[in-house]
Amino acid sequence: MTAITRKLGKSFGWVGPCLMAGALNAAQLSLPPSAELTFEDLTDSDRYDLPLAPWADGRLPVEALTGQVLRQAWRVPGAGFSPSQTAAQLMAQLEAQGYRILFDCSDRSCGGFDFRFDTEVLSAPEMYVDLTDFHFISAADADMESFLSLMVSKAARAGYVQVIDVVIGALPMAQVSPEPQTESLTSQAGTGGLAGALQRNGSVILPGLAFEAGASALGDGQVPALAELAAFLAEDATRRVVLVGHTDAVGALDANIVLSRRRAQSVLERLTSVYGVSGSQLSAEGAGYLAPIAPNDTAEGQDRNRRVEAVLLPSR
Residues 125 and 262 placed together within one structural domain of the fold: no
The residue out of 176, 210, 225 marking a domain boundary is 176
Arithmetic mean of pLDDT over the chain: 79
Q: Given this model, what pLDDT does residue 183 score?
A: 42
Q: Given this model, what pLDDT does residue 244 score?
A: 93
Return the closest-CA partner of residue 73 out of 132, 117, 19.
19
Residues 34 and 122 placed together within one structural domain of the fold: yes
Res 142 pLDDT > 50: yes
Per the structure, the count of domains in the chain is: 2
Residues 119 and 200 placed together within one structural domain of the fold: no
Q: What is the mean pLDDT of residues 251-272?
A: 92
3 belongs to a structural domain: no
Q: Given this model, what pLDDT does residue 216 score?
A: 82
Q: What is the mean pLDDT of residues 287-301?
A: 86
6 belongs to a structural domain: no
pLDDT in tens, 247-258: 889 989 889 899
Please count the residues of the chain.
316
Residues 172 and 125 placed together within one structural domain of the fold: yes
Residues 26 and 163 placed together within one structural domain of the fold: yes
Q: Given this model, what pLDDT does residue 296 score?
A: 87
Residues 165 and 198 placed together within one structural domain of the fold: no
Residues 141 and 195 placed together within one structural domain of the fold: no
Contacts of 156 (CB under 8 A, 6+ apart): 79, 314, 316
Q: What is the DSSP letter of 256?
A: H
Return the closest-CA partner of residue 27 out of 40, 15, 44.
15
Measured CA to CA, the distance from residue 252 to residue 260 in angstroms comes to 12
141 belongs to a structural domain: yes
pLDDT in tens, 188-210: 433 456 667 777 778 888 888 87
Quote the domain boundaries for residue 200.
186-313
Residues 238 and 142 placed together within one structural domain of the fold: no
Residues 26 and 165 placed together within one structural domain of the fold: yes
170 band by pLDDT with thresholds 50, 70 and 90:
very low
Instruction: Calculate the alpha carbon distances from 154 to 157, 210, 218 in Å.
Output: 8, 35, 34
pLDDT in tens, 123-134: 888 899 998 899
Measured CA to CA, the distance from residue 82 to residue 5 in angstroms comes to 28
Res 139 pLDDT > 80: yes
Residues 167 and 223 placed together within one structural domain of the fold: no
Res 3 pLDDT > 70: no
Return the closest-CA partner of residue 46 out of 168, 180, 175.
168
Helix (H) or strand (E) holding 21: strand 18-21
Q: Are 17 and 33 in contact (CB under 8 A)?
A: yes
Res 291 pLDDT > 60: yes
* Bridge partners, 151 (sequence order): 136, 162
Percent of the chain clearing pLDDT 90 (strictly above):
30
